[in-house]
């Protein structure tokens, strides 16, 4: 059990700290007072006060965190600003979140997700510069008889160039792109005798297990790959190349995640693959056994997911606050307190429903439900 809990705690502490520090950085930059910087919720385990009066603390429930601003009940678009200002002296009013211009409030809220994306970029840059990135060309070594690939016209020695419009830079990209595809047909572009050919492959959905032994529904097209000319091409990149490939990876993960969520909404996606904290804890423990590089790679992907989810326009999330700020900008005034509270109740219901569904999938994955 400790093999799962300790890596999970490390992962969550780092990713949540970075997210909250993004809020904290912009708050301090724009002169907003910060009274609490908490990793976790509930009762405080330990903490300390810095010279600016912020209480830094770690609490018992490690499933998130928060930054509490001076005199602020929340960071929603305040409709009762005049009443709030009466409670504070002039020098204290300048430290209030609600007195700041709209663009500064937006940056403070956006700072959390932005920090998560930056963390992922830094991790990928480190890996690409010091460990290297794989650029081994993917060539089809075998096409299984009567497989989706054979029926689509794929042949031995085809070089896979693109999958669903995304360039295949490495043999490692093929399984990743097939697995991330959400459409009924996967578009392959292959190079055959110096000609590029487009193929539409309808994958089979097969109950399987991943490299860590977790149950998954795997999309299979029926091919076996080998390196082109049996040459493994692993390259350590320079700073500029590493940065560009890192940006590309973050964009790919974010866009693929949005496509997956969209497919679940439309009913075409596999909702059973949506997991919560239990699955993350299980996988983080399993990945940690493979070494530090796979573990920090997973940290990067979790950080992207956290940043992306927080940008959803759901009240209680950062994206919900940004949505209220956008409305305030358009109308020239914030929505009424009552209207905002109504949206927050809807947001709470949506988040609790999502958490319940993800946890149910986690328990089912552990064999507690059939």
Active site residues: 20
Residues 170 and 134: beta-carbon distance below 8 Å: yes
CA–CA dist 295, 304 (Å, integer)? 14
How many residues are present in the chain?
370
3 state SS of 223: strand
CA–CA dist 14, 304 (Å, integer)? 13
Phi, psi of 310 (to 5 degrees): -70, -15
Half-sphere exposure of residue 258, counting CA atoms within 13 Å on the CB side?
Answer: 11
- Give the contacts of 347 (CB within 8 A, at least 6 positions apart): 314, 315, 316, 317, 320
3 state SS of 167: strand
Phi, psi of 185 (to 5 degrees): -115, 140
Residues 85 and 99: beta-carbon distance below 8 Å: yes
- H or E element in which residue 208 lies: strand 204-209
């Amino acid at each position: 059990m400790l093999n799962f809990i300790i890596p999970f705690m490390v992962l969550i502490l780092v990713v949540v700290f970075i997210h909250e520090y993004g809020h904290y950085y912009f708050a301090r930059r724009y002169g907003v007072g910060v009274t609490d910087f908490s990793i976790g919720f509930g009762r405080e385990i330990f903490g300390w006060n810095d010279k600016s009066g912020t209480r830094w603390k770690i609490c018992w429930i490690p499933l998130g965190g928060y930054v509490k601003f001076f005199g602020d009940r929340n960071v929603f678009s305040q409709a009762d600003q005049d009443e709030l200002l009466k409670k504070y002296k002039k020098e204290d009013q300048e430290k209030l979140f609600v007195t700041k211009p709209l663009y500064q409030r937006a940056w403070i809220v956006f700072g959390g997700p932005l920090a998560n994306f930056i963390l992922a970029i830094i991790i990928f840059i480190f890996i690409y510069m010091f460990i290297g990135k794989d650029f081994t060309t993917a060539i089809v070594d075998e096409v299984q008889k009567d497989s989706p690939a054979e029926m689509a016209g794929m042949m031995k020695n085809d070089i896979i160039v693109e999958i669903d419009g995304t360039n295949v830079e490495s043999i490692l990209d093929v399984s990743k792109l097939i697995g991330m595809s959400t459409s009924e047909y996967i578009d392959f572009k292959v190079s055959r005798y110096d000609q590029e050919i487009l193929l539409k492959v309808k994958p089979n959905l097969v109950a399987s297990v991943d490299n860590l032994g977790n149950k998954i529904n795997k999309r299979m097209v029926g091919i076996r790959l080998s390196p082109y000319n049996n040459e493994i091409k692993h390259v350590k990149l320079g700073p500029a190349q590493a940065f560009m490939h890192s940006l590309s990876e973050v964009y790919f993960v974010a866009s693929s995640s949005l496509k997956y969520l969209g497919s679940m909404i439309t009913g075409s996606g596999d909702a059973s693959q949506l997991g919560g904290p239990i699955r993350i804890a299980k996988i983080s423990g399993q990945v940690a056994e493979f070494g530090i590089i796979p573990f920090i790679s997973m940290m990067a992907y979790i950080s992207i997911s956290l940043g992306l989810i927080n940008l959803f326009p759901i009240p209680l999330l950062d994206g919900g606050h940004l949505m209220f700020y956008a409305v305030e900008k358009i109308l020239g005034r914030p929505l009424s307190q009552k209207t905002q509270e109504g949206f927050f109740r809807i947001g709470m219901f949506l988040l609790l429903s999502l958490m319940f569904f993800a946890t149910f999938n986690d328990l089912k994955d552990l064999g507690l439900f059939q």
